[in-house]
Amino acid sequence: MVAMTSADIEVRTVTVADAGELFTLRRAAFVTEAQQYDDPHIPPLTQTFDELKEDLARPDVVTLGAWVGSRLAGSIRVLLEDGKATLGRFAVAPDLQGKGIGSRLLVEIVPRLPEGTKEVWVFTGRDSVQNIAFYASKGYEHQHDQSVGDLTYAYLRRMLGEEPDPA
């Protein structure tokens, strides 16, 4: 396979017209997470297609997608609240993980946030060590864990204006 460069990735807002692709991408990306936690009921896998379309139309939610050619290869959902952005449903197609798509999405989020956004939060399964390490490498610091049903999530925060160490 030819190496992918940042120029091969186009990041733009996901619209309701992209809902079918997004629905498929999330299903593929979150199956591994569900298997790790032995829980097929995680929200990205239980959200219906109609609920997804409603979510894409919300004024307080922005969903960014990363396209490689005509394929939606990654996405991230951003919930906007007073001075705070919460990232979720971060998905990269399983066959394209490790190729910079997730990193590109994280970089593209910040300039698209409303003025006055002071902090960005992200959460992942507490046992998702690889995800936690990825977020930490991008300047996110672990703040706390929270149990929801049978799952325990790790919450990480990045204060804006603080650049991550490029190392």
Q: Is the pLDDT of residue 42 over 70?
A: no
* pTM for this entry: 0.81
Q: Residue 27: what pLDDT?
A: 87
Q: Residue 40: what pLDDT?
A: 58
Helix (H, G, I), strand (E, B) or coil at 142: strand
Exposed, middle or buried: residue 75 (CB in 10 Å: 0-12, 13-18, 19+)?
buried
Rounded CA-CA distance 90/114 in Å is 20
Rounded CA-CA distance 147/126 in Å is 9
The model's pLDDT over 44-96, given as tens digits with 9 standing for 90+, comes to 767 889 999 999 999 999 999 999 999 999 999 999 999 999 998 899 999 99
Displacement of CA 12 from its chain's centroid (Å): 14
Rounded CA-CA distance 132/76 in Å is 16
Q: Residue 1: what pLDDT?
A: 46
Q: Is the pLDDT of residue 149 over 60?
A: yes
Rounded CA-CA distance 167/71 in Å is 31
At residue 165 the predicted structure's pLDDT band, cuts being 50, 70 and 90, is low
At residue 35 the predicted structure's pLDDT band, cuts being 50, 70 and 90, is low
